[in-house]
Every structure is written in C-alpha cells, then in structure tokens.
Chains A and B, each alone.
Chain A
C-alpha cells in the first residue's frame, strides 16, 4: 500500500494546497494536517505561473521575493515527511524548475525528501520523457491532470503512466476562479472512473465546505488551493490558526459527505 492508497481508502479525501516559502510554511502544513487534510500539495514557486489565477500568482511572488530556492522547497518537504510519516505529499509546479538541474537530480531529491507524487502543470503527456521516467525510477508518481477538454480520444494519453491519483480540473480556466456545475462534475468523474482505477480528485474553484461536501459525494477527493493560499496572503506568518479552522471545516464536510448522502 502506498500512502496514496491508504489516504484514499478511507473514503473521500481532502487534498490541500499551499505554496512553499509563502508565510511560515512548516507551521501552515502542520495546521493543514491537524485540521484534517488527507493529502498535501506543496506548490513549488515559479516566476511565470501561467495556469494560476491571482491568488496563487501572488503566493509565488511572495515566496520568491523572500528568496525561496528549490533547495528550500525540498527541505520543507523533507522536514514535513519527518514530522508526518503517513501523510501523502505532492510537489506541484511548473516544468522549468523541475528539469533545470536535470530531471534525474530532481527525481532523486524528491524521493529523498519523501515526496510521493509530482504534478507538473505544463508538462503534457507528450513530453513525459523529460521527467516521467526519472520520477518513476525513484518510485515517485507522476500525477496527471484531466480537464473538461480531455475527451475520450485524448484520455488514454493522459492516463498512460499516470500514478497516485487523477486530478480532475473541473473548469477550463485558471486556479481560483468559478466552480463548475455539480452535475457536470459528476458526469466527468464517472466517465474518468470508467477508464482508470486511480482515485479521482476534483479541484479548481472549490472554496467552501458546502462545495467540498457536494463534490465529495461524487468524487474520491476534493482539492482546495486558492482559498487556503488567500489566508496565507492575508495573515502572513500568523496564518496557521485560520488555516486550521478552514481545513477543519472542509475536512468535516468532505469526510461526512457520503454519510449525509446515505
């Protein structure tokens, strides 16, 4: 059993994203876990986050402005792993910082830091050779994104070599914007699940416990990012407590979703 298997076996999982180097990241990560997050996505800051909306763009700039380096991100990951041996940890970011020193180097460092999976936003499956084989050789999953534009013809390419869980981007757009209608999410998730055994987590535009609960009824996981990142933006180094509060409300909603539905 991988950490992902364990996390998703318990029922719908709450996946929480924050950007490394933004605020007191270690304290914030602990707050997410204490609040009930089942999977952690740690954003690797990049100067040009072209798939992200304003909230995460600003988090990237804040982190880089403080001088956050790739080495710092890996150290934050390694420290997290030491404190939380069971919680799956995903690095999410853009291709250039991941491949710049060589994909072998990055894959080995990620594995050493206890990272379970990597999401590389701008690495299309067509360019998997740049990073995928190196990650898999180190036992790190390449987590793929499916989107509303991923049709039946395209899906096999996305699923080829996909690991960990499948991240369904519920809106064609950037992070933090409006949420898709629930019935289209349900339809998409059931379509995806016909083609893969991987758990399907749904993200983009999920901000409230109510939204999270509704999605958790139809999906294996719910990803929340911008709403958490905004809290860090607002509270700076004192974001842990408000993060714990929101995470706890989200976790309760996600974990109880199936019970309410039943």
Chain B
C-alpha cells in the first residue's frame, strides 16, 4: 500500500483506456475518492472491499441480487416514451427540432425510488459479512425508507440517523420508517440536516464496528462504497441500454439525471461511459441561484476537499470549513458529490448543469400535467434541463431522463412553495 501511495501523481493518474475501469485499486478516481476515515474503521473498510470482490465473483450472490430486484423491487423498471412532454417541448421550437424524450421510470420501484437497488445489494453484503445490525443516514427519508425496508425484509434491527430539521419536514417518511420497524434517531448537531446525519452515523459505526453494517445511500464515502453503490445502481443503465435498443434500435444521444451524491446518475451513466456518441448531463441543485450562497452545487460552486471518507468537490470556505447547502429538494441538500462525478466533471465526459429551485418547481408541475407522473423534486431537477437543451437536438434524436423517484413525499414542500394551503 505505502509503496503505491508513494508513486508520483503523474503515474497513478495516467489516463485509462476505458472510462469504466475506475477506481484504481486504492479507490481513487483520478485525484478523487480514496479512504479518509478514522483508523478504527480502516480494518472494516478493507474487509468490506475484500468481501465485495468475492461477492462480485460469486454466482450465488448475483443470482440472489437479481432475483430480489425482479420479484421484490419489481425490476426491470419501464422505459417510457414521454410523448406529450416531447410534443410540449417541440411546440416552442422550429420545425424538426426537439428530441424524443424517454423516461427511465425508477419511481415505479418498490419504495418509490432508485435507492432500493443499492440497499438490496448492501444488505446482501451485510449478511455475507455476518453483520447483525444496520445503520444508515437519510436526508429526505428516501434512503432511510429503502434501508428500513430491506432491514425488515432480512429481519435485522436498523437505526436511521436523520437531521432533526429533516425529521420535522419529512414526517410521512419518518412514520414509514417506524412502521417498517426502524428506529429513527433525530440528529441535533450542526445544521440538523443530511451532512450532520452522516457525521452521526459515522460516530455510531465507529462505536459499533464489530456488529454493524453501514448502508451508505449514495455513491460517496470511503472506498469501496462509491464503487459498490455505482455497481448496484448500474442496473439502471444496463436496463436502459437494452430497452432503448429494443424501442429505437440504437443508443440514445443524451442521458440526463439529477446529482446530489449522484447514485441515480452514475447508475444510468456508467454503462454508457465508453460510448463516445452518448452525451450526458448531470443536474446539480442551484437552490436560490448560483449568485447566492443558498445552493447545493458542489461542482459549479465548490472546490476539491476531504469529507465523509472521500476526496471530492465540496462547498467550503477559504479555510476548508464545510458550508451549508441549500436546495428545495432535501435529497440534494448536501455540500458534496460522489467522487466519480468529480472525476467525470474534470475529465469533461459529463456536463454538469445547475438547476434552481424555481426551475425544478416548474419542471415538477410540467411533468405532472403533461405525463400524469408526479416526479420527486430530485428528478424534477433533471427534467428542468430539457427546455434548455431541447432546441439543440433534432427531432430524430433520443434523450433518456432518469425519473429517479416519485414525488408523493414532496407534495407538502411543493404546496408551500406555490403558496397553496393544505
């Protein structure tokens, strides 16, 4: 290990032949990723990596994972041609402009979002490692619900850490988790949101490392989490590839997904990274706007740093103190981003676009009215890029948007933002 870490950056960062071969054996995506954790956790992190390598080679693990995705989650999720939204976008464009819009419908999964894909994979790893207690952090509560769901399904006790402020603004999900048998622990430290919930989950993990498995909800954290979460979520892109080939007989021209930590986006993008003709856009939460401090766009408004086990783009001040994120979407309200996205951003393979609260709200309503689908506010950030780019694409072009979750959980937030009494 130490011999390798002594290598000059120019050697360890040499460009790979495939964009899909990251991370390196030390968990680095270029300069990003890595393992920045307290020593108490290191042996477990190393064991997890070893166990994950073994699981990947084990046909029984693969069989169990796929069977649960099919019969429990309800996969494959549909690839749906959003005809009315396509027409709506074309209405304001010159003849022959405006691509065909497809939705990858992750919101139809059990528990209503893509989060469950990863939770199934991680709980199978926990079981393999003989761990008997599950912990997780959650912001909006979607990952908390998905974790509580798999913990119930496998009969393991489960503690969910959630910022006290989020507990207050996401009451339906808090009750869902309780129904599923999880203990929800409100975190009163810091700003009482997702970042603080993650700190507290890490503190619990350090103290209970002997029996506890930490199911991290996004493609971030210490290696091997960014890699294994991506792999479990890659089912989104793998299915999309097959489905669009079946529907259109060719690969799409553009993929769009929202990025908080970035697990739904990396899950869609990764299987296409080596297809040079497939463009990709990740949308970051620009909150009240990039000209304010009230946003959660780590790439557009942050710089590289170290937090929560990995090196990645972070919102921080000139001293490296982490600053508070803001987004109308609790799921995007985090001052960091998964390390692979930082790498894809710097390499230019994926474009990242900031989307404001107002733009997301507009797209949210448009999707409801044109398609009869209430998207999660996170997914609305992806949809919101469509009016901006539709004019650049001819009408025979194909765009896939990841509708990563359903928006039932967000109706109170949206009502408040629109000034509706409920």
Contacts and interface: CB of A to CB of B under 8 A. Distances in A.
On whether the two chains bind one another, the answer is yes
B320 to A, nearest CB: 3
Interface in A120-143: 121-130, 133
Nearest to B305: A96
Interface in B250-308: 305-308
Contacts of B305: 96, 99-100
Contact of B189 (A57, A146, A154): A57
B195 interface: yes
A235 to B, nearest CB: 23
B42 A124 contact: yes
A5 interface: no
A33 interface: no
Contact of A48 (B2, B42, B199, B209): B199
B339 to A, nearest CB: 13
B287 to A, nearest CB: 19
A124 B306 CA distance: 12
B39 interface: yes
Contacts of B210: 172
A95 interface: yes
Nearest to A53: B203
Given A48-B195, A70-B319, A124 B207 contact: no
Interface residues of B, number: 42
Given A157-B2, A173-B206, A126 B34 contact: yes
Given A48-B195, A96-B314, A172-B209, A127 B39 contact: no
Contacts of B373: none
Nearest to B9: A129
Contacts of B323: 47
B43 A149 contact: yes
Interface core residue of A52, A126, A174 (most chain B CB under 10 Å): A126
Interface residues of A, number: 52
B245 to A, nearest CB: 41
Contacts of A98: 320
A81 interface: no
Contacts of A146: 39
Contacts of A70: 319-320
Contact of A125 (B2, B41, B198, B307): B2
Interface core residue of B44, B305, B323 (most chain A CB under 10 Å): B305
Nearest to B8: A129
Given A124-B42, A147-B39, A151-B43, A174 B203 contact: yes
B316 interface: yes
Contacts of A48: 190, 195, 199, 307-308, 322
B371 to A, nearest CB: 40
Contacts of A97: 319-321
Contact of A174 (B35, B37, B206, B306): B206
Contacts of A52: 203
A51 B320 contact: no
Contacts of B370: none
B202 interface: yes
B13 interface: no
B38 interface: yes
Contacts of B207: 171-174, 177
A37 interface: no
A95 B306 contact: yes
A29 B203 CA distance: 28
B206 A172 contact: yes
Nearest to A161: B2
Nearest to A132: B5
A31 to B, nearest CB: 27
A148 B42 CA distance: 11
Contacts of A133: 6
A160 interface: yes
A124 B320 contact: no
Contacts of B2: 125, 128, 157, 160-161
Nearest to A177: B207
Interface string A173-197: 1100100000000000000000000
A20 interface: no
B306 A157 contact: no
Given A48-B195, A48-B322, A126 B314 contact: no
B29 to A, nearest CB: 14
A168 to B, nearest CB: 10
B26 interface: yes
A258 interface: no
A50 B39 contact: no
Interface in A85-120: 94-101
Contacts of A26: none
B42 A154 contact: yes
A69 B41 CA distance: 29
Contacts of B322: 47-48, 96
A150 interface: yes
A79 B357 CA distance: 47
B418 interface: no
19 contacts: A48-B199, A48-B308, A50-B203, A53-B203, A96-B320, A124-B39, A125-B42, A128-B2, A130-B306, A133-B6, A144-B39, A146-B39, A149-B42, A149-B43, A150-B39, A150-B43, A154-B46, A173-B40, A177-B207
